[in-house]
Amino acid sequence: MESLTLLSTHDIAKHNSFGDCWLVVEGDVWDVTGFAPQHPGGASLILKHAGRDATKAYAEYHASGLIEDTLPSSCLKGKLDRSTIDETWTRDRSSPTASSSHPIQTLPDGLKPPLHSIINSYDFEEIAARTAPKKAYTFYSTAATDCWTRDMNESMYKRIWFRPRILHDVSRLDTSTTILGNKVKVPTFICPTGLAKMIHPEAEKALARAAKATGIIEILSTSASHPVEDIVAEAPDHPFFFQLYVNRDRKKSEELLAKVNRLGLKAVFVTVDAAGRGKRESDERLVVDEPVINPVTGERILPDKKGGGLTRMRGSYLDESLSWKDLAWIRSLTTLPIVLKGITTAADARLAMQYGVDGILLSNHGGRNLDYSPPAILVLLEMHKLCPEIFERMEVYVDGGIRRGGDVIKALCLGATAVGIGRTFLYALNYGSEGAEHLVELLKDEMESVMKLIGITNLSECHPGLVNTLDVDHLVPATDWHPYAQWRPKPRL
């Protein structure tokens, strides 16, 4: 056996796909490409070790020698060259742990595990991080400067507890509700995002089909990857919302809203938190190889002089002079309900109500624009302290940091009508329309589990008494001003 070729870990690792699958077992390197489909335990168990050392897994199920008896000797490609073992090779990707996070077992880079093995929203991100184009994952996952707000969005939900009630009949559940009068099966909508095409060519079109299939609503971005008319054509008779970036060239916005009216969309979400461009540093460090075309405006998006960063390339058309008085102009262009997207203080929520909008979306843009802006769930709590009357007067939505069905229920208990999810739908889009459908099903399943266990059967039973927010309440302002500072600045210059 000494005459066998020595094969390096580097070489072995290349044979890591269904069509070209090698395994190491007890130091021997086997080509199991042809055998895998016939494996009594299923091909997936083998693929899990494609291009890697399967000795340990093999030993758990099989007697030593079985592989020699089963495979023809032509499948024996050589011996593992142990001097080439490095950390990458030895890292065990398949040992279960009892830690608080149970990551999905990933395949060799570039291979996506089957959709049915994905059991939560974190799996979708984990897989996108490994298998999506680097530029896409970086653009989607990044956030402004220190990424503090992005991370806090998620952790604030973890700091809110349930106060479950027992012994209620929960044998029939209903997760449906209405958003601005539109019936939805799950209180979740797809937030508008840019550059969805980077992860899947069908982009918003695939999301539209998933939205219809699962009974939720997609909000179409001003900078969507496909023309609005093409997207809505994917889901006839299904409601859509539109997200509006007001253009410096107001005419373009007018034309856009005219089209939105014509196409029968159901509401306009006006983004009000993008007056400045966020500094997204992961993204800025990426070298941009190819130009990007905005499919709505038709403009070619070019790098600015900073030399990189998709964020910096985009958004130059945003109107930084947009102010409260412009709402009347928008109102004049459409009879659709108008929702302001990007409220982060109770004071602005109150102003929005006074200006007569139909809803507000509490959002910090996924932490992508202003770092250290507050998580939406805290703004919801601030509204309970400072302007609780708004909950009776218009619909309030939140987005940012929602990863579990339980997070959705927490937001609804605190007064939200529905929640938006952005990034995770992009990660799910890695699997096309089916991925997005699967994500909604997972969230719905988690919601139902939580509803039963806190003792409610439909969403109208959600109320603040079902959650304990004491771990975050000290962070919630009780006044529009600073709690003790009396100093007022004198105007300079």
Q: Which residues are catalytic?
A: 245, 273, 365
End-to-end alpha carbon distance in the chain: 86
**Under rule CB under 8 A, residue 99 binds its own copies:** yes
- Among 115, 347, 353, 358, the residue binding its own copies under the rule CB under 8 A is 347
**Under rule CB under 8 A, residue 307 binds its own copies:** yes
- Among 31, 68, 174, 299, the residue binding its own copies under the rule CB under 8 A is 174
**Under rule CB under 8 A, residue 332 binds its own copies:** no
Q: Which residue in the block uniquely carries the two structure tokens 């897994």? A: 57
**Under rule CB under 8 A, residue 455 binds its own copies:** yes
Region binding its own copies by CB under 8 A among candidate stretches 223-231, 317-325, 329-337, 430-438: 317-325
- Among 175, 344, 424, 430, the residue binding its own copies under the rule CB under 8 A is 344
Q: What is the number of residues in the chain? A: 493
Residues of span 71-90 touching its own copies by CB under 8 A: 82-88, 90
Output 227 or 464, the one with its CB closest to its own copies: 464
Q: Which residues contact 41 (CB under 8 A, 6 or more apart)?
A: 61
Listing DSSP states for 4-26 in one string gives: SPEE-HHHHHT-EETTEEEEEET
Residues of span 208-237 touching its own copies by CB under 8 A: none
Q: How far is the CB of 93 from its own copies (least distance, A)?
A: 12
Report the C-alpha gap between 377 and 384 in whole angstroms.
11
**Under rule CB under 8 A, residue 299 binds its own copies:** no
**Under rule CB under 8 A, residue 3 binds its own copies:** no
The helix or strand, by DSSP H or E, that contains position 221, with its residue range, turns out to be none
Name residue 10's amino acid.
Answer: H
Structure tokens at 20: 């070209």
Q: How far is the CB of 234 from its own copies (least distance, A)?
A: 28
Region binding its own copies by CB under 8 A among candidate stretches 71-79, 233-241, 283-291, 292-300: 283-291
Site size for its own copies (CB under 8 A)? 140
Phi, psi values for residue 91, rounded to 5°: -55, 125
C-alpha count within 13 angstroms, C-beta hemisphere, residue 442 = 23
Q: How far is the CB of 468 from its own copies (least distance, A)?
A: 6
- Among 226, 277, 314, 438, the residue binding its own copies under the rule CB under 8 A is 277
Burial 289-321 (b: 16+ CB within 10 A, else e): eeebebbbeeeebeeeeeeebbbbbbbebbbee
Q: How far is the CB of 365 from its own copies (least distance, A)?
A: 9
- Among 160, 362, 394, 428, the residue binding its own copies under the rule CB under 8 A is 160
Name residue 221's amino acid.
Answer: S
- Among 201, 276, 291, 356, the residue binding its own copies under the rule CB under 8 A is 276
Pairs from 339-342 (Cβ < 8 Å, separation ≥ 24) = 339/180, 339/241, 339/267, 339/268, 339/269, 339/270, 339/395, 339/397, 340/269, 340/270, 340/272, 341/243, 341/269, 341/270, 341/271, 341/272, 341/273, 342/271, 342/272, 342/273, 342/274
Q: How far is the CB of 366 from its own copies (least distance, A)?
A: 12
Residues of span 355-394 touching its own copies by CB under 8 A: 369-374, 381, 384-385, 388, 391-392
**Under rule CB under 8 A, residue 97 binds its own copies:** yes
Output 214 or 311, the one with its CB closest to its own copies: 311
**Under rule CB under 8 A, residue 414 binds its own copies:** yes
Residue 295: strand, helix, or coil = coil
